[in-house]
Amino acid sequence: MESLLASTSLRASSFPAAAAAAARSPVPSRVATLATTRARPLCCGPKDTIEALARDEMLNAVELVQWENGKSVNDIAASQGIRIRRHCRPNSSMKAIEEEMGEPRNILEKIIWDKEIEVAEGHAKKPLKEVIESAGKAPPTRDFYGSLKAAYRRNGVPALIAEVKKASPSRGVLRENFNPVEIAQAYEKNGAACLSILTDEKYFQGSFENLQKVRNAGVKCPLLCKEFVVDKWQIYYARSMGADAILLIAAVLTDLDITYFLRICKELGLTALIEVHDEREMERVLNINGVQLIGINNRSLETFVVDTSNTKTLLDKHGDIIREKGILVVGESGLFNPDDVAYVQNAGVSAVLVGESLVKQEDPGRAIAGLFGKELSQ
């Protein structure tokens, strides 16, 4: 997997500690860049180009210093309360990985372990440089954040991000007869502000082709690429396939990952939806600069337990600072009827992300009015 830290000559000459760390720690894709000097602050501005980003260096991150001092990627993640481990062995078989690390501890960890391998295969098929070039040539992004804000104002109920989702590991196949473009068009016609397209194949039966098809069919709603991002390659790829926004999951990504990925998103004009599930993740994310959109997932991706009061608990505690920062909050998962929507609206969300309760119905477009108790206007 693409990593500047993999460059041992650079490390050995500049950072003896890092070289030693590299010898005993997996190479983190999450800290995929390393500097030759340490004093330069992060900069992001008009001088940055996509090419420059590809060579980019994040110099002063605590995580990087820790890594140089011999802490493994998983130790650094654990110190931030992250329970999901990375195997960082994208070219090994899962059998070899499990022999070393034991079985994945939960479904999210399993998804991430598979994703690391899948992304390495993606790199091999389409090198980063090519994907960056395609992303640079893609038609411009549409304003995901702005669409949500406008729809909330227009309708007086949380803006809808309607999800194009065939299946999930917790609920199995949701819709046998699944036509992503038809579903997307029906959502758009019935007032969805934005759409979310699942791209994970193995667990959600989604695909990047679905994302591309929806975009090419002329759907105007901004599109969220719903992916388990572990590597910047996926972000460029998502953009090249037509995404306007991308999901970043705080349960999986360290603060440095999120900071770095946010910067790439900014360069590409993508909106990042940062997903949190618990108190610790919310606190971490609120300390990261440049966050515009936070999703509170009512479903634990580790246990699948859904609890809509999670949105209220986190907003009761952090609502003030969130409003102060102008961050929009999306209530995610387990919303089925107008009472559920009203409950998360009262808790303070400006948007909702809904899949199952729409996609399972015969007519997913008409299901929108049922979910809100009224028709939404475009």
Ligand X SMILES: O=P(O)(O)OC[C@@H](O)[C@@H](O)c1c[nH]c2ccccc12
Residue 333 binds ligand X (CB under 6 A): yes
Active site residue 209: no
**Which residue out of 147, 333, 350, 357 is catalytically annotated?**
333
**Site stretch for ligand X (CB under 6 A), options 132-140, 143-151, 183-191, 328-336:** 328-336
Which of 356, 365, 367, 372 contacts ligand X by CB under 6 A? 356
**Site stretch for ligand X (CB under 6 A), options 75-83, 175-183, 232-240, 331-339:** 331-339
Nearer Cβ to ligand X, position 35 or 84? 84
Active site residue 137: no
Which of 353, 367, 368, 376 contacts ligand X by CB under 6 A? 353
Amino acid at 131: V
The conformational region for residue 168 under phi > 0 = left, psi -120 to 50 = alpha, else beta, is beta
Residue 163 binds ligand X (CB under 6 A): yes
Residues 6+ apart with CB under 8 A from 258: 248, 250, 274, 285, 288
**Which residue out of 116, 267, 281, 332 is catalytically annotated?**
332
Nearer Cβ to ligand X, position 73 or 195? 195
Distance of CA 171 to the CA centre of its chain: 21
**Which residue out of 63, 163, 188, 281 is catalytically annotated?**
163
Distances (CA, A) of 243 to 43, 138, 151, 305, 353: 25, 9, 20, 29, 16
Which of 188, 244, 267, 332 contacts ligand X by CB under 6 A? 332
Active site residue 297: yes
Residues 6+ apart with CB under 8 A from 286: 318, 321, 322, 325
For residue 30, the minimal CB distance to ligand X (Å) is 18
Residue 109 binds ligand X (CB under 6 A): no
Residue 367 binds ligand X (CB under 6 A): no
Site string for ligand X, 249-288 (x = CB under 6 A): --------------------------x-------------
Residue 297 binds ligand X (CB under 6 A): yes
User: Mind telling me the catalytic residues?
Assistant: 163, 165, 226, 275, 297, 332-333
